[in-house]
Chain A
Amino acid sequence: MINLLKQEFKFLAKPLNLTSRLFLVAGVAALMASYWTPLWRIKLVAPQYSEGLTLDIYSWRIVAGHEGQDINEINNLNHYIGMKPLAEADFFEMKWMPFIIGVFVIYTLRAAVFGMMRYVVDLFALFSYFGAFSLGSFYYRMWTYGHQLDPKAPVHIKPFTPVIFGTQQIANFTQSSLPQLATYLLAAFVVCLVAAMWFSRKETP
């Protein structure tokens, strides 16, 4: 056990070689690029909406299809079942997400410049938490929208959770929800962190 801890301390004290540092810089690029592309896309298709109604969720905003009209259309349809209207202002995460990503950018650059393994481990732990929290929060939000239905609504449907990953049928709509480029970029960031650790695993302090 003691031996294991010793090994761990040794590992944390390892410096980062150039390859690892370059991976960290690449990770920063991926993080920053995620700002410009959507994380997730929610799409609703029905006979009357064969072209689909789309919501693209960015880390800091929601972009609705048809020049923004789709969010109004979705809210208009949802009012029949008594669902609360989706409003960008309600997504408080969107206010702090860019800030958090900025913190990760700075911290990753710090790790690249100082070349310390322990910073990379920190980043990996914190980012994993951040990713898991964000997904959990997204699921909770979806659950809330689908379960807090106005009991006085004209159409009564069984409370439901809109699908997060995949496709499901809700009344006459086929709803799909799939990760988009920004999510893959965030995943690429994690891959960069792992690669940075991997390539410096044999360095000596």
Chain B
Amino acid sequence: MSVAFQIVMPPLDFDLASTGKGPTSGYVFFTSYNTEMAGELLEVNASQKDRDLGAVVDWKAAAQAVADGKATEMSGAKVLDPAKVPGIVHLLPIGKSPHGMDVDPTGKWVVAGGKLQPSTTVYDGEKLIAAIKSKTFEGDFRGIPILKYESVVEGEVPVGLGPLHTQYDGKGNAYTSMFIDSNITKWKLPPWTAEEKKDLTKVVLDKVPTHFSTGHLVVAGSDTKEPYGKWLVAMNKLSKGRHVNVGPAQPESSQLIDISGDKMKMVAEAYTEPEPHFAQILKVSEIQPIEFYPKAENKDPDAVWDVEQTGVTREGQNVKAKIIAVRSRFVPDRIDAQVGDTLTVHVTNIEQTGDMIHGFGVNEQNVNVVMDPGETKTFKIVLNKAGVFPFYCTNFCSALHQEMQGYLIVKPAGEAAPATTPAAAAQTAPETKPTENTPAVPATTTPVAPPPPANSAPAVPGQ
């Protein structure tokens, strides 16, 4: 992926975008607030006008304009100015302080709620494109034409206070989150009868209270052409009083609503991390992820899969360790270095089993990486402190997870630099050469393996 082009826009606060489909295919809809272009106290000064502006972007036309050489180069990006290249961007009046336009599954209806307006506005996508073609404008904003509101709007549905986002069930119903009123409001999409059109309160079908102040919401498949939704999740911004008091920092509540019947039914509630934003409900069958990274597909040049390939090597002041992580050990489990060295660690989790994740943390070195099964991770540390620093698995893996550890030994500067440890010479997995020295056997006479200091020796039995 790379940036194809950019469009320079007036200094409004643009936020959410959604793409058209069906009749509106090829268009992207944005909303913005702060039509006032206020620079201070936006709460008040960006809320003065009764309408803000949405942007309807014909991205195919924009791509064509770029291909035709109508873009200018700015800091390496191809930039289009819609005031100079007409037909690419049209603005659209929207209810005060909107937060996104939501295209319905047919692509014909585009809905935007103004947070500070007690209604949500339904635009007719076909009329919208017709207005663009016939240039039915009511003015312009810094050279970008504004579509005539009356020529594109189908109706303003009085859904309640604080309408934010709208989702669809594919059966002609829309569901809008009400931030201020704190509910989900179900209403009927057009076409409306003449009687309904005269009094749009008649298309408001049902309301279910939420707890509290719903922001985003999701209906299964709403953003596709064929929603498969029997369920709606309301992502609320406040949970006050819904769960036991856990102190000043509180989770939010998210609520599951059954929308299969005429009346919505609240069925469950769970407490989610704060600021739940945007969600999709997908069928499990649509997602088939791998369970681990297969060995054959690991192309990392520093990956090691065999004990024979592991080891610590030195080139000048650069020390490189290639390490295997497997239940419940690191091989090698000792890295010798010296103050002033730069240590590069390549650690490969050679497990080929689902959910067998290992971590690699180094005490006092601010390092903690997590390797999924079959994954190789690399990190670098500049060693500026002498000492023995335990490294250990940081993702619980087995009954001997805590024993999955080793030592980084950093000698003071000035002493003879430790010799390179050839691969698998000094340290080897116990099952291959069980007689070789390991730090867990303090009685060893080998000079290369001093027992770790008592204060950093969690491998002492009984601990």
Which residues does A use to contact B, with CB under 8 Å?
46-48, 50-51, 152-155, 171-172
Contacts and interface: CB of A to CB of B under 8 A. Distances in A.
The dominant DSSP class at the B interface is loop
A150 to B, nearest CB: 9
A171 B180 contact: yes
Given A47-B212, A48-B212, A153-B47, 12 more contacts: A46-B182, A48-B182, A50-B241, A51-B241, A153-B44, A154-B44, A154-B47, A155-B47, A172-B162, A172-B180, A172-B181, A172-B182
Interface string B43-80: 11001100000000000000000000000000000000
Contacts of A152: 44, 48
A153 B43 CA distance: 9
B116 interface: yes
Nearest to B45: A152
The dominant DSSP class at the A interface is loop
B208 to A, nearest CB: 12
B186 interface: no
A60 B43 CA distance: 35
A11 B416 CA distance: 121
A173 B210 CA distance: 15
Contacts of B213: 47-48
A59 B183 CA distance: 39
B161 interface: yes
A174 to B, nearest CB: 12
Contacts of A154: 43-44, 47, 116
A48 B47 contact: no
Interface string B227-252: 00000000000101100000000000
9 contacts: A46-B182, A47-B212, A47-B213, A48-B213, A154-B116, A155-B47, A155-B116, A171-B180, A172-B180
A48 B240 contact: yes
B209 interface: yes
Contacts of B48: 152
Contacts of B314: none
Contacts of A172: 161-162, 180-182
Contacts of A171: 161, 180
A48 B209 CA distance: 11
A87 to B, nearest CB: 20
A99 B162 CA distance: 47
A126 to B, nearest CB: 47
> Which 10 A-B pairs rank lowest in CB-CB distance, beginning with the nearest?
A154-B47, A47-B182, A48-B212, A172-B180, A172-B181, A47-B212, A172-B161, A155-B116, A154-B44, A152-B44
Given A152-B44, A154-B44, A47 B209 contact: yes
